Amino acid sequence: MIGQDSCINISGKAAYRVIDNEAMVVAPGSNKLYVFNRVGTRIWEMANGKTGIGEIATAICEEFNVTYEQALKDAIEFAEEISRKGLLEVKS
Amino acid sequence: MSISALDKVRDRNIPLNALIELTHRCNLRCCHCYLPADRSLEELHTCQFKEVLDQLADAGTLFITFSGGEVFLRDDFFEIATYAREKNFAISILTNGTLIDEWVADRIESLHPLSVEISIYGADCNLHDGITGVPDSFDKSINAIRFLKERNIEIEIKTSLMKQNVDRYEEIISLADRLKVKYEFNPGISPKLDGSRIPLAYRIDEHELLKIFSDQLLNPVTIETDEEKYHRLDQDELIMCGAGRTTCVISPSGDIFPCIVLRIPIGNISKQPFSEVWHSFEAEKIRDMNYCDLKICNQCELLAYCERCPGIALLEDGDIFGPARFFCKIAEVRRSINEGRLVRINQERR
């Protein structure tokens, strides 16, 4: 369960490149290529294992002009989805 | 990949895929090898290859294939490959596997490669070692597959199909099934990079091509026929490949090529930054090739079935814009098979 105090970190197994604010991410094992939108890419870039989801949501709401509640909901949903794919590690 | 990302990569000629030949040294003596015996053995140093990786990352490259020669002959392979992972590349490794023991397999596992592709030419040592010219190479390569498989690393057996093994490819499929690994066959034996046609003596003929392309294990039937694909794609998409557009090759000495077969150097990374080379006049000339330049091929009735390779056309037939005769043969074979399939599909649709 990911909450606003959870920290997320890019998996050491993932490979990625950011081009024009869009991250292309590959998960070894599945060999699938995912492309994140600008918000997803910003969350990905802040997934350093130290910054909490709440802090990430604060940055998102400032940069993309959405409410904190919406940014937090989006960030948690995004983190849950890509951690299921093995691309992120979550520290609660 | 989303369409927008694909479009961006293609429209802006981002070299998403790079193949890095770390060395042209090899411990096998494969009869069909495209590398000339008197090839240059000049190689970039470790720090130069790291600089190459820095520059490719800046250019937008995501996928790196490490190839040789035999990559594990470089003492600094893991230093370079580890650096590539630190730069967030997705890496694949092409190898003959003979130098992979348990210790090497452990280190490969730590790289989290997308895949390790191992050349296997037969399902037993007589056939395989006969092609590689080195005794025990089969046993060593099979051991490597086992070590890597134990570590859950994605493995693919790569087989060049040639006169010596074309009648026995089913045995390689059985071997791959037993080892629980993927396999891929390639009938595309090419001339040596110095133009020598010696390897072509091992190339399979039309009858053998027909057998391979008719085998549904190797060529699963899809509902979309080649004719339908022809009408769906635009002409440039149909006939032009990613060479020099989304693909590049770096040789051991730092020469930059559009692809592994199309050996027209567009620059050298030890003399110019990659970005300068990639956007140079020489590179643009390669990218400017289009459907209209192919004076014979663009009028050809086999166009729908053709996967023409400009590199082979140049190496084998001397004209980058002309037909590559081996691919003409393959197109002929595919047409005859497709005509049979079309009849069957139409009967089933009725």
Which of B2, B60, B113 has the CB atom closest to A17's CB atom? Answer: B60
Of the residues B8, B61, B62, the best mutation for testing chain A's interface (the one with the most A CB atoms within 10 Å of its CB) is: B62
Within B181-300, strands assigned E span 182-186, 247-250, 255-257, 267-268
Nearest CA in chain A to B2: A35
Judged by DSSP in three states, B98 sits in coil
> What pLDDT is recorded for position B224?
47
> What pLDDT is recorded for position B234?
57
Task: List chain B pLDDT tens, one digit each, 350 residues.
Answer: 455 677 888 888 999 999 999 999 999 999 999 999 888 889 999 999 999 999 999 999 999 999 999 999 999 999 999 999 999 999 999 999 999 999 999 999 999 999 999 999 999 999 999 999 999 999 999 999 999 999 999 999 999 999 999 999 999 999 999 999 999 999 989 999 888 999 999 999 989 998 888 887 776 554 445 555 555 555 555 556 888 899 999 999 999 999 998 889 999 999 999 999 999 999 998 888 887 888 788 888 888 888 888 888 998 888 988 998 889 999 898 888 888 776 776 677 66
> What pLDDT is recorded for position B236?
57
**A31 touching B, CB under 8 A?**
yes
Is the CB of B154 less than 8 angstroms away from the CB of A28? yes
Neighboring chain A residues of B61 at a CB cutoff of 8 Å: 17
**B85 touching A, CB under 8 A?**
yes
> What pLDDT is recorded for position A49?
92
A57/A77 Cα distance (integer angstroms): 12
Percent of chain A whose pLDDT exceeds 90: 78
Q: SS3 helix, strand, coil % of chain B, rounded to 5?
A: 45, 10, 40
Tell whether B285 is covered by a domain: yes
CATH code for position B283: 3.20.20.70
Nearest CA in chain A to B111: A13
Q: Is the pTM of this model over 0.80?
A: yes
Tell whether B45 is covered by a domain: yes
**A12 touching B, CB under 8 A?**
yes
How far does B235 lie from chain A, in Å, by closest CA? 27
Mean pLDDT for A29-33 is 80
Nearest CA in chain B to A10: B88
The count of structural domains within chain B is: 1
Tell whether B263 is covered by a domain: yes
Cβ contacts from A onto B, under 8 A: 50
B260/B182 Cα distance (integer angstroms): 23
Q: Are A44 and A17 within 8 A, CB to CB?
A: no
Tell whether B16 is covered by a domain: yes
Tell whether B317 is covered by a domain: no
Expressed as residue numbers, the domain containing B73 is 3-221+239-290
Q: In terms of residues, how long is chain A?
A: 92
Tell whether B140 is covered by a domain: yes
User: What would the two tokens of residue A87 be?
Assistant: 């691309």
> What pLDDT is recorded for position A30?
74
Q: Are B238 and B216 within 8 A, CB to CB?
A: no
Tell whether B42 is covered by a domain: yes
How far does A92 lie from chain B, in Å, by closest CA? 25
DSSP letter at B223 equals S
Tell whether B77 is covered by a domain: yes
